[in-house]
Structure 1
Amino acid sequence: MEKKHYIIIGAGIIGSSIAREISLRGLGKVTVLEKEGKLGMHASGRNSGVVHSGINQKPGSIKAELCLKGNQLLKQFCRKHKVRVEEVGTLVISNSDEDDKILEQLMSRGKKIGVRGLKIINSEELKRREPEVVGRKALLSPSGAIVDSVGFLEAVVKDAKKHGAEFIMDAKVTGIRGNSVKTRKGIFEADHIINCAGLYSDKIAHVMGAGRGIRIVPFRGEYMEVENLDIRSMVYQAPDLNFPFLKVHLTKTVDGKVLAGPTATLALGREAYRKGINPVEFIGMASSVNFLRLLFGKSFRKLVAENVKVTVSKKAFLKEIRRISPSVKRGDLKKHPPGIRAQPVNRKGELVNDMLVEFTDDVTHILNAVSPGLTASLSFAEYVVDRIEGK
C-alpha cells in the first residue's frame, strides 16, 4: 500500500488511537489537529473512567464486538504503559420483577457476545461485595474495570508520537477545501482526512458533503462526587434497553473517589458545560428535522423530563442515588465536572446506537463512537484502519 499523509481532526481518545494504529503499521505520515491547547478537554477527559464489559451491547452490533475486544486491549495497554487500571467488576442491581427480567436480558446478551464470568448473585453475596448497596439480586460481570482516562489518553498519544505521529495543538479547523485543511496554525495538505471531531463531527462531515442524514444532538451528563461512601466496584440500576443512556450509577474511581451519574439532559450547545445556551447552535439543532422528530417521541420526552428533574434538583439526584445506596445523605454530595455526549440522531429522529463510520477513498468520517468509545478505542482504531487499508 502506498504511503500517504493522514490528517486526523481531533485528538480525543478515538482520533489519538487511530493515529497510533496508523503509525504502528507504518502506513505513512500522521498529523493530528486538535483545537484545544491540552488533551482531554472534552469527552475523553470528562467521564467516570468506566471500562465496560459489554453486557449492555446488542449482539451482532459493531459496538458489541469492539467493546469486548477493546476491554482486553485497553487493560493490556495500560498494564504495559503503567496507566492506572483496576478490574473491579460491574454489578447491575434489581429491586423489582421488571428489573429481574432486565438482568436476565443483560445476561443473555452478554453470553451471546462472549462476556465471561457472568452470573446472577443473591442479596447476601451482593451485601458481601458491596455492604452499602441494597438490591434483592444483581448481575455480576467481573471483567468491568476502571481506568485513569486522561492518563490512558496521554499514554496513547505518547505511543503514537513514539512511532512518528505529530500532534498539533491549538489548531482549530476553520475550513476544508478538497484535501486542504485550513487551521489557526496554517494550511495542511492531506492524502487522507480522518474526521474524529466528536461534538463537531457532523459539521465537519457536512462541509465535505458527507453525513447528510446525521445531526449531533449534545446531551450533558451531570456527575456528583459522593463522600463518606465505600463503593468497591461499579454499581448500576437496571437500564431502559430502549435507549443508549444508562441511569445514574455509582462508580469507584482509580483515585479512590465515588462518582454518581451521569444524567442525560439535552444540552443547549455543543460545549454547554455550564448549563448556558449557545443561541446559534441551539437554533440550528432545534430547527433540524432530526431533532424535531426525536422530540415527537412520547417515551423520549418522558426520558428528557425525568433527566431534567434530576439535573436541576439535588433532591431528585439524591433520590436516584438512594435507589442504589439508601444511606447517602444530601451533605455527602459534591459537584463534579459534567461531560457532554455527542449523540447522533438520524432523519427519522432515532438515536443512533451502533458505531457509525463513513468511508471513501480519501476521507473517513467517525460519526458515532460514543460510549463505550473509551473502552473500544483501541479495537475501534484497528477496525477503522483495517477498512482504510482495504482489509
Structure 2
Amino acid sequence: MTETVDTVVIGAGVVGLAVARELTLAGHEVIVLERHGLIGSEVSSRNSEVIHAGIYYDSAWLKTRLAVEGKALLYDYCASHGVAHDRIGKLIVACDEAQLARLDGILAQGRRNGVTDLRLIGRDEARELEPNVACVGAILSPSSGIIDAHGLMLALQGDAESHGAMVAFNAPVTGGRVVDGGIEICVGGAEPMDLRARQVVIAAALGAQDVADAIDGYPVTRIPPIHKIKGNYFNIAGRAPFNHLIYPVPVPGGLGTHATLDLGGQVKFGPDVDWDAEPDFSVDPARAEEFYGAIRSYYPDLADGALQPDYAGVRPKLSGKGEPAVDFCIQGPKDHGIAGLVALFGIESPGLTSSLAIARHTARLLP
C-alpha cells in the first residue's frame, strides 16, 4: 500500500527538525522519518553544544553565510522559545609567539565573514578575563555561546508538530524511486510501507549518502564521499576553571582540543580527530594521554590523572585526512535534476548553529 503525502523529511536531528518546522510554518504537510527511536541520537546529541560565531570558514562558502545568519536566528529563537543558552563568549588563544600571526589571519577572516564584534587582546587582558589561561594573546569573540541542544530539538519538534507535522520513529528508509510527480520512499521497521511524496528532504547526517544511494534515479555521481570521523571528549571533576570557551588556534581537520562549558558549569575538552577509528560512541580512556599536552598548552595547571572519559561523537565530513576542508553540500533540483528533492550532505559543525538558516535555505530550493 502506498500513502500519498506532501513532504517527507528524512532524519530527526536538529537540522531535520528545523527543516520540518520551516516547511510546516509555510503550510506544508510534513512527515519526518527517523530510523532510531528518539530525536537527535547521533550527531545532534554528541557535539560541543557551542553556538559558533562563523569566524573560520571561507567567506565565499555557504557554510559561512549560514553560520552567521543562523547564529542570529538561533539566539532569537532561544529567547522566544525558552531554550536554555548562554552567550558566554570565546577566547581563541595563541600559546606562543609563533601563533600570534595566525591570530591576525583568523581575525581578518572573521571580519570578512561579517563577524563584526571580534577583538584582538593582549596577554594581560586575556589573563584578566581568564586567570587560569596561559597565552601570549587572544581573540575575544563575544557572540559565541552555548546551548542545550536537546532542549532546542524538543522546541523545534514541538513547533513542527503543533503545525501539523508528524515524526515517525523506528522508520528507516530502505529504498525509493523517482516517479512521475514525486518520489516514492520505502519505509522499513515494524510496519513497512511506501510513501509517495511531492517533496523529499534528506537530512540524515551520517546516513545521508546511503539514503541518496538507495533512491533509484538519484545520480550516483552527485553523491559525495563521506568520512565518518570520530571525536572524543574528556572532562574534569568540579566546576570549570574558565568562564569563556577556550579554543587554541585551529589544527588540520578541526578546531583543536578546546575547552567548552555546559550550562551546569562543567567543562569538557575535545574533540580530538580520530581519522581511523570505527565510528562508534565509546571513549578509550587511554586517549587521555594525548589530551594532556594539548590542554596544558593553554591550561598548564591541569593535574595528572584529572581527565575522565566523557562521550564521543562522529562527524559526517566530506574531506578525508590530508585533504582541504570543504563547504556544506546542499543539493537541490538544479544540482541533481530531481524535482522536489533536496539532499544535505556533510552537515557537521557548525550545523547546530546554522540549523535554522539551513532550514530557510532548504525551503527556498523547493517549489
Provide TM-score, normalisation by structure 2. 0.90
Distance 1:275 1:95, change over 3 A: closer
**Counterpart amino acid of residue 366 in structure 2:** I
Say which SS state the counterpart of residue 226 (structure 2) adopts. Answer: strand
Query: What residue in structure 2 maps to residue 199 of structure 1?
Result: 206
Higher deviation after alignment, 4-13 or 225-234: 225-234
What is the rounded CA distance, in whole Å, between the counterparts of 1:155 and 1:66 in structure 2?
20
8 Å contact from structure 2 (residues 342, 365) kept in 1: no
Distance, in Å, in 1 between the alignment partners of 2:307 and 2:283 is 19
Instruction: Answer yes or no: is the 8 Å Cα contact 1:252–1:258 preserved in 2.
Output: yes
Residue among 313, 322, 334 paired with 2:296: 322
Alpha-carbon distance, 1:207 to partner: 2.4
Q: Which amino acid in 1 is paired with 2:201? A: I
Kept in 2, the 8 Å contact 1:91–1:140? The answer is yes
Paired position in structure 2 for 1:186 = 192
Identity %: 28
Residue identity in the other structure for 1:353? V
Tell me how far apart the structure 1 counterparts of residues 255 and 64 of structure 2 sit (CA, whole Å): 16
Deviations, residues 298-353 of structure 1 (Å, cap 9, x unaligned): xxxxxxxxxxxxx843222111111121111133211111000011248x984552
Task: Report SS of the residue matched to 1:132.
Answer: coil
Matching residue of 2:336:
none
Write the mapping of 1:137-148 to structure 2, written as runs, cut at 5 A.
Answer: 137-148=137-148
Alpha-carbon shift at residue 200 of structure 1 (Å): 1.3
Structure 1 counterpart SS, 2:29: strand
Deviations 1:150-169 (A, max 9, x none): 11111111111111111011
8 Å CA contact 2:146–2:263 kept in 1: the answer is yes
Aligned residue among 313, 328, 331 for 1:355: 328
1:374 aligns with 2:352: yes
Matches within 5 A, 1:210-289: 210=219, 212=221, 213-228=223-238, 229-240=240-251, 243-266=252-275, 268-269=277-278, 271-274=279-282
Does the residue aligned with 1:266 lie in a helix, a strand or coil?
coil
Gapped runs of 5+ residues in structure 2?
A: 334-338
Residues 84-122 of structure 1, C-alpha deviations (whole Å, 9 max, x = no match): 110011110012233111111111011111112211111
Q: In structure 2, what residue type is equivalent to 1:259?
A: K
Output the CA distance in 2 between the equivalents of 1:388 and 1:237.
Answer: 40
After TM superposition, the structure 1 = structure 2 runs for residues 115-134 of structure 1, keeping only pairs within 5 Å, are 115-134=115-134
Counterpart residue identity of residue 18, structure 2: S
Name the aligned partner's letter for residue 102 of structure 1.
R
Whether the aligned pair in 1 keeps the contact of 2:226 and 2:316 (CA below 8 Å) is yes
Q: Which residue of structure 1 lines up, in the alignment, with residue 106 of structure 2?
A: 106
Deviation of 1:186 (Å): 2.6
Separation of aligned partners in 1, 2:311 and 2:40: 13
Residue 82 (structure 1) aligns with: 82
Q: Distance in 2 between matches of 1:352 and 1:313?
A: 25
- 1:103–1:138 CA contact under 8 A, matched in 2: yes
TM-score (norm 1): 0.84
CA distance in 2, matches of 1:211, 1:275: 34
Q: State the number of aligned residues.
A: 348
Q: Is the 8 Å Cα contact of residues 95 and 298 (structure 2) preserved in structure 1? A: no
Residue 221 (structure 1) shift: 0.5
Distance in 1 (alpha carbons) for counterparts of 2:299 and 2:323 = 33
Aligned residue runs from structure 1 range 334-353, under 5 A: 334-345=308-319, 350=323, 353=326
Query: Are 1:315 and 1:330, in contact at CA under 8 Å, matched by a contact in 2?
Result: no
- Aligned position for 1:331: 305
CA shift at 1:53, angstroms?
A: 0.5
Q: Secondary structure at the match of 1:111?
A: helix
Structure 1 gaps, min length 5 = 277-310
Give CA-to-partner distance per residue, 1:16-54, whole Å, 9 cap, x none. 11111001111x210000011112211100111100001
Report how far residue 211 of structure 1 moved.
5.1
Task: Verify the 8 A CA contact 1:74 1:375 in the aligned structure 2.
Answer: yes
Q: Tell me, yes or no, if structure 1 residue 172 matches structure 2 residue 172.
A: yes
Aligned partner of 1:14: which letter?
V
Q: What is the rounded CA distance, in whole Å, between the counterparts of 2:310 and 2:283 in structure 1?
A: 14
Give distance in 2, aligned partners of 1:91 and 1:349.
27
**How many angstroms apart in 2 are the aligned matches of 1:39 and 1:93?**
35
Moved over 6 A (4+): none
More helix by share: 1
Distance in 1 (CA, whole Å) between partners of 2:155 and 2:280 is 28
- Secondary structure at the aligned position of 1:330 is classed as coil
| One-letter code aligned to 1:37 | G
Q: Check the 8 A contact 1:70/1:378 in 2, yes or no.
A: yes
Once the 2 structures are TM-superposed, how far is the Cα of residue 358 of structure 1 from its aligned partner? 1.4
Rate the CA distance shift 1:81–1:4 in 2: closer, same or farther, 3 A.
same
CA distance in 2 between counterparts of 1:67 and 1:121 reads: 24
Letter in 1 for 2:23: I
Are the equivalent residues in 1 in contact too, given 2:96–2:135 (CA < 8 A)?
A: no
Query: 8 Å contact 2:283–2:311 — kept in the other structure?
Result: no
